[in-house]
């Protein structure tokens, strides 16, 4: 028998709130966090909007001396991990540190730190580059810093797999616990991609919304026919996954059970999804099968829902192929309509929302619905959230490189 895996703590650093309660309250209200970029002058870029975290102060979690050696993505990960410990009332004991691992997703890692240091270099100040540059810019540092903070001696792994990074990290973490190798894993994702270089690179790909710089609140509009690209975001979501017996022994409160995970590759194109949606559908089916969840039992899907022309209609098609007629009964929503796309961390946010939807029996909305797309014809919970009994929920991710990853959660019933 494989060990059962449950979620006992959720830590959040997001544009709409720091801490799981503010994050959830903002979501259910449909709070829109997209605005004009303030972190740098965006005038040189075609896309000038983002969902920034404007009230984050690393000094609430780290000393300046420690924090200055890290990228913002590591600041976020540490803060979210500490928030998760607090939320889950998790006590770290010396005797169990080797049975606790850290597996996080991050697409950019410390690229923001590197970008700033390269500005110093190109100004002819090579000797002025920070001595921490090589270490702080490594993607692996994001998980390493969390492991070091708590003294966890289990595996410390970073999954850098584009937009599916966090879902892949969560799937791997669950497997560590199911196999008995670990009792607890701190998992999720962290990314801080609102930098001149990263925004510029996405602009060159034509991936970002450029038509609504004058009305940023309307820029992220998943499943609308006039969508024109995603809105870049940042943040971290850290989930505490535990072996069920471990959680029960310490009297932990349980959000949901991690039932299944599926991952596939379209093997088609570096940026475009396979038009048929076949492999995205297969990842969903794999997650449902592993979780022993019949398609008609699925209550909610937190969609990848990026607001790009190809992604939204292909994801819709994939959901139909995976669920059949039930696709029209399942509730689907995209939190990216409110907080943008946090790249490698986004999937962790989606799984966190699934856990909260199960715990609270409530579906957050997809905001900015104004212009229906006949190819996107599912129940996207337009503009206003709703009460609904959520027995099973699925967090879906689709990434550059033709990657797909889905995680299924179910209501914990002992």
Res 127: pLDDT: 74
Res 87: pLDDT: 98
Res 138: pLDDT: 84
> How many other C-beta atoms lie within 10 A of the C-beta of residue 411?
18
Q: Are 377 and 29 in contact (CB under 8 A)?
A: no
CA distance 303 to 163: 13
Catalytic residue among 33, 45, 75, 163: 163
Res 125: pLDDT: 67
Q: How far is CA 221 from CA 55, 126, 185, 300, 376, in A?
A: 24, 43, 34, 19, 12
Is 45 one of the annotated active-site residues of the chain? Answer: no
Is 341 one of the annotated active-site residues of the chain? Answer: yes
**In order of start, what are the domains of the chain with their CATH numbers?**
5-249 (3.40.47.10), 261-410 (3.40.47.10)
Q: How far is CA 402 from CA 109, 272, 322, 396, in A?
A: 20, 7, 18, 14
Q: Which residues of the chain register pLDDT less than 70?
A: 125-126
Res 134: pLDDT: 82
CA distance 310 to 303: 14
With a CB cutoff of 8 Å and minimum separation 6, the contacts of 248 are none
Token pair 């022993």 is found at 292
Is 64 one of the annotated active-site residues of the chain? Answer: no
Please state the length of the chain: 414
Supply the DSSP symbol for 382: B
Record the tokens describing residue 174, joined without a space. Answer: 């669950």
pTM recorded for the entire structure: 0.97
Of the candidates 409, 407, 402, 397, the residue with the CA atom closest to the CA atom of residue 165:
397
Sheet strands (E) in 121-279: 156-159, 184-192, 232-243, 256-265
CA distance 85 to 79: 10
Q: How far is CA 140 from CA 66, 168, 290, in A?
A: 17, 15, 29
Record the tokens describing residue 145, joined without a space. Answer: 């810093």
Q: Are 299 and 388 in contact (CB under 8 A)?
A: yes
333-376 per-position pLDDT tens digit: 999 999 999 999 999 999 999 999 999 999 999 999 999 999 99
Q: Are 404 and 263 in contact (CB under 8 A)?
A: yes
CA distance 227 to 213: 13
**Which letter, b or e, does each residue of 262-297 get, where b requires 16 or more Cβ atoms within 10 Å of its Cβ?**
bbbbbeeeeeebbeebbbbbbbbbbbbebbebebee
Catalytic residue among 75, 304, 354, 376: 304
With a CB cutoff of 8 Å and minimum separation 6, the contacts of 62 are 70, 75, 78
């Amino acid at each position: 028998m494989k060990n059962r895996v449950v979620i006992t703590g959720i830590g959040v650093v997001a544009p709409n709130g720091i801490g799981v309660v503010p994050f959830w309250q903002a979501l259910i209200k449909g709070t829109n966090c997209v605005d004009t970029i303030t972190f740098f002058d965006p005038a040189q870029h075609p896309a000038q909007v983002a969902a920034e975290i404007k009230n984050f102060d690393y000094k609430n979690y780290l000393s300046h001396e420690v924090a200055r050696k890290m990228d913002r993505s590591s600041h976020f990960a540490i803060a979210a991990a500490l928030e998760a410990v607090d939320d889950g009332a998790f006590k770290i004991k010396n005797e169990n540190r080797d049975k606790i691992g850290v597996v996080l997703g991050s697409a950019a890692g410390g690229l923001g730190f590197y970008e700033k240091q390269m500005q110093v270099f190109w100004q002819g100040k090579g000797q002025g580059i920070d001595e921490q540059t090589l270490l702080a810019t490594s993607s692996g540092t994001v998980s390493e810093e969390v492991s070091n903070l708590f003294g966890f001696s289990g595996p410390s792994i970073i999954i850098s797999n584009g937009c599916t990074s966090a879902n892949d990290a969560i799937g791997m973490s669950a497997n560590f616990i199911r196999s008995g190798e670990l009792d607890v894993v701190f998992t999720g994702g962290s990314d801080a991609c609102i930098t001149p270089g990263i925004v510029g690179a996405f602009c060159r790909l034509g991936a970002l919304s450029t038509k609504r710089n004058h009305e940023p609140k309307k820029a992220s509009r998943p499943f609308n026919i006039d969508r024109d690209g995603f809105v870049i975001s940042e943040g971290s979501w850290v989930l505490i996954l535990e072996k069920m017996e471990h959680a029960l022994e310490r009297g932990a409160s349980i959000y949901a059970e991690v039932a299944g995970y599926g991952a596939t590759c379209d093997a088609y194109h570096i940026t475009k999804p396979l038009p048929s949606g076949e492999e995205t559908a297969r990842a969903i089916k794999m997650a449902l099968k592993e979780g022993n969840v019949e398609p008609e039992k699925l209550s909610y899907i937190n969609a990848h829902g990026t607001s790009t022309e190809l992604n939204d209609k292909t994801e819709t098609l994939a959901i139909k192929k995976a669920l059949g007629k039930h696709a029209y009964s399942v509730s689907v929503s995209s939190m990216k309509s409110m907080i943008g796309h946090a790249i490698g961390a986004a999937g962790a946010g989606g799984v966190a929302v699934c856990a909260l939807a199960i715990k609270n029996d409530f579906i957050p909305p997809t905001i900015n619905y104004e212009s229906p797309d006949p190819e996107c014809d599912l129940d996207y919970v337009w503009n206003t959230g709703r009460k609904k009994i959520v027995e099973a929920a699925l967090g879906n991710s689709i990434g550059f490189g033709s990657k797909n990853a889905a995680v299924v959660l179910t209501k914990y019933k002992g």
